[in-house]
Amino acid sequence: MYATTARLVDRLSSGTYDADVLGWASPVPFFGRLEHATVATIGINPSNREFVDSTGSELGEADRRLPTLASLGIEAWSAASASDVRRIARSCHGYFEANPYRLWFDVLDRMLRFGGASYYSDSFACHLDLVPFATSVKWGALNKGTTRSLVIEGVRTMAELLRDSSIGLIILNGRAVVSAFEALAETTLKASDVGDWTLPRKQGRGVQGFSYTGSIRSMAGVDFDHTIRVFGYNHNLQSSFGVTNQVVRRIGARVGEEIARNQTR
């Protein structure tokens, strides 16, 4: 974990990152106790709210979640010491025991708890992003060239973390993550219509629910020594309009089945 974090800090110190990347914010290779995790949820990239408040100002010390240049007391990442890198890695490791961005993570955790897992209470779930850098604007607002370059660069970091972990199940939150993952892992997941995941609408049939299943043994040219099962769903639980508690519970129940399979392999 230290080596991965150090490499990402070096990437920031090069100064060649896109202008939309929060260059003063630390990289976030993982959230939670990766070394104990057997299950990982997957997202696109860290929210800017990991580092700023609702007005866009950097979080103060009492509200801080993860390190920044200011909190480390340095002016540039090229000045980061081994101690600074360890501090970043420790902050990622202890993320859910400190001040997590609950507005985002608690939605996923609720789904995980229906399946018998959690990010909290020293449980066995963690979170990884395809891109380990926060951006100043929402992912969907970035230009395609920027997103492509960030994902291509970031996915190898994720692959190396998966290779060196005990994670046997990854959970893809939303169709955008499923699509990006399929492209980067060079795999096609099996899509299945799940009728009782349909999101109701006042008019029309509602938004259908789909699950996506498969497995991988490598990613971005990195080979794993074990098979990792993949389970995804098309509804982004934080942002899809009309996601109901009932649908979250049903997705969680299915996740529980996948977790049980993972634990008995």
| pTM to 2 decimal places | 0.92
Whether 154 has a pLDDT exceeding 70, the answer reads yes
Segment 89-100 mean pLDDT: 94
Least Cα distance to 117 among 214, 236, 260, 248 occurs for 260
Is the CB of residue 158 less than 8 Å from the CB of residue 185?
Answer: no
38-82 tens-digit pLDDT: 999 999 999 999 999 999 999 999 999 999 999 999 999 999 999
Angle at alpha carbon of residue 224, lines to 260 and 261, rounded to 5°: 10
Domain total of the chain: 1
CATH of the domain at 136: 3.40.470.10
Instruction: Look at strands 190-199 and 125-129 and give their pairing.
Output: unpaired
Is the CB of residue 50 less than 8 Å from the CB of residue 24?
Answer: no
What is the distance between the alpha carbons of residues 19 and 208, in angstroms, rounded to a whole number? 37
Domain residues for the domain of 145 are 2-263
Whether 203 has a pLDDT exceeding 90, the answer reads no
Segment 79-95 mean pLDDT: 96
Whether 132 has a pLDDT exceeding 90, the answer reads yes
Whether 264 has a pLDDT exceeding 80, the answer reads no
What is the distance between the alpha carbons of residues 52 and 62, in angstroms, rounded to a whole number? 13
Whether 1 has a pLDDT exceeding 80, the answer reads no
Whether 265 has a pLDDT exceeding 70, the answer reads no
Is the CB of residue 172 less than 8 Å from the CB of residue 184?
Answer: no
CB atoms near residue 148 (< 10 Å): 12
